[in-house]
Amino acid sequence: MKKVILVLVAISVVTLALATTDVKLGLPLAITSAGQSAEVETVNYVADEVGLKYDYCDILSKDEFAAGVGLADAKSGIGKHVTTLSPDPKGTKFQTLILVVGADLKGMGASGLSVDSEVARLKNLIEYAKANGIKIVAVAIGGEIRRGLPGSPNEVMIDTVIPSADIFVFTSDSNKDGRFSNEAKARNVPAVEIESAFDLLDTFTTIFGL
């Protein structure tokens, strides 16, 4: 029985990996948090390491997102952090939006957000992305500490993001219950399961064709 389970797991991992070979995401890229956990910093860090240019705002608004590259000259301030690295001309429409899933009440509090207002912000971004053909990448690399009981802040963020994601990237320890892989399978969208955030180095290189 154990062998059968191992074979099934191996097949599912291979299937997930195969699904990613066709995935090529376009630039410019916008990155924001979905829940204000520190994992978004890891995603930015990996992007820097592999030379992936992006525009980032932790509390990106729909208007800033819609303004394209340069995020309408958004500035960092208390509870708001902005980095604009995209080389494209200001105003160029984004091709891809990365939402890094993970709820952190400290992070939300520091940005003056509640779970409800964070969800509202994400829904606006998702609505705009869908209306404008922008690919949404859901990234979950926080592991078990960024999961919780149904209705908990972490799960609320996941509930908000995953129905609209065009591709999933998640660590195995974030997906112990199969939440992300099952959603990807049910909607027939690509999923990349990685062992740890460290594997994002290869994943980003592949899916962004670097």
Contact positions toward other proteins, by CB under 8 A?
38-39, 41-42, 44-46, 81, 104, 106-107, 109-110, 142-145, 196-199
Taking the least distance from each CB to other proteins, the nearer of 106 and 130 is 106
CB of 5 to other proteins, least distance (A): 20
Taking the least distance from each CB to other proteins, the nearer of 17 and 105 is 105
Buried b (16+ CB within 10 A) or exposed e, 86-106: bebeeeeebbbbbbbbbbbee
CB of 148 to other proteins, least distance (A): 10
- The CA distance from 99 to 97, in Å, is 6
CB of 198 to other proteins, least distance (A): 2
CB of 80 to other proteins, least distance (A): 11
State the SS3 of 193-210: EECCHHHHHHHHHHHCCC
Residue 35 token pair? 């829940």
Taking the least distance from each CB to other proteins, the nearer of 16 and 194 is 194
Taking the least distance from each CB to other proteins, the nearer of 75 and 198 is 198
